[in-house]
Structure 1
Amino acid sequence: MQIRAFTLLESLLTLAVTSFLILIFSVTFQKTVHVIRGEIFVLQFENILKNQQTQAVTNAEVRSLSASDGTVFVNGAKYHVPSETLFSDFSIAFKENGNIQSIKQAKIVISLPFENDKKISYQLQLGSGQYRKTSS
């Protein structure tokens, strides 16, 4: 009884096909991870925005939220921003009653480069502290 084994050519072809499939799935997986990390950070940012306003009312103190050169600051403390998100420069201060005290720019724009440069805009309303979210 004779056992037939793969030839060198068959082995290389099998290895090439397997490597190609693994490469395709890993690239797709990495892109998906970047997209999800960007979306999760946007949700975290919305939570931070609402939390700062709530803390201003609860603690009866002025709270601030700002971004400069892609770095977000919460009450002066640097907040880690993942590379999947890019911020426009802004500076917001919430008064003790939760209203916006001062605005450097009334519009916050977050770009998500891994989602075909998707842009999420927050148009803040002076006085009420509310915002309108749009995405494009």
Structure 2
Amino acid sequence: MRRIRAVRLHKLPTRAFTLLESLLTLSTVSFLLLILTGSVRTSFRQVEENLFLLHFEHLYRENQQLSIAGQREVSLSLTEDAIKSDLQTIELPKGVTIAKPIKLVFSKEGGNSSLAKVDFQLSDRKVHYQLNLGSGKYRKTED
């Protein structure tokens, strides 16, 4: 039979962080997280604002098509807190404000009833939609 040898392990001294080292590490990690959180928050806000603008453009075109398909007038109301139509309501994100409330009415042919200008104030820029009379098309510009 084989003999099993007992191996003695030498006791190694246990090394650990001191309280000061632990606090220094914790404060450094917290500082880095705060910096990253700010940039992530800014990026998230910009994405949210861009998605809102795309959603508004889609809703505008959708209401136009609905008025043509149904051969009836369809309205789109832009208020200080939301954009409302017959189909749905879009809440304005936190950083977005509208210059003045307006109500757009699409005729049976899909054209709008005014030369309205819709202005959105975003956190870092202004976006203007100049609506064309009759055709229902718009021109988008940014400041």
TM range (shorter): 0.7 to 0.9
Give percent identity, aligned residues only. Answer: 34
Q: CA RMSD in A?
A: 1.7
Is contact 1:90–1:107 with CA below 8 Å preserved after alignment?
no
Match of 1:41 in 2: 52
Match of 1:12 in 2: 23
Segments of 4+ moved more than 3 angstroms: 75-79
Match of 1:63 in 2: 74
Is contact 2:63–2:74 with CA below 8 Å preserved after alignment?
yes
Superposed CA offset, 1:65-104 (max 9, x none): 121233322139643222232123222101001111x33x
1:125 counterpart = 2:132: yes
Match of 1:111 in 2: 121
How does the TM-score come out when normalised to structure 2? 0.83
Cα distance between partner residues in 2 of 1:19 and 1:135 = 37
Identify, as 1 or 2, the structure richer in strand.
1
How does the TM-score come out when normalised to structure 1? 0.87
> RCO higher in 1 or 2 (8 Å CA, sep ≥ 6)?
1
Q: Structure 2, unaligned stretches of length 5 or more?
A: 1-11
Q: Which has the larger radius of gyration?
A: 2
Identify, as 1 or 2, the structure richer in helix.
1
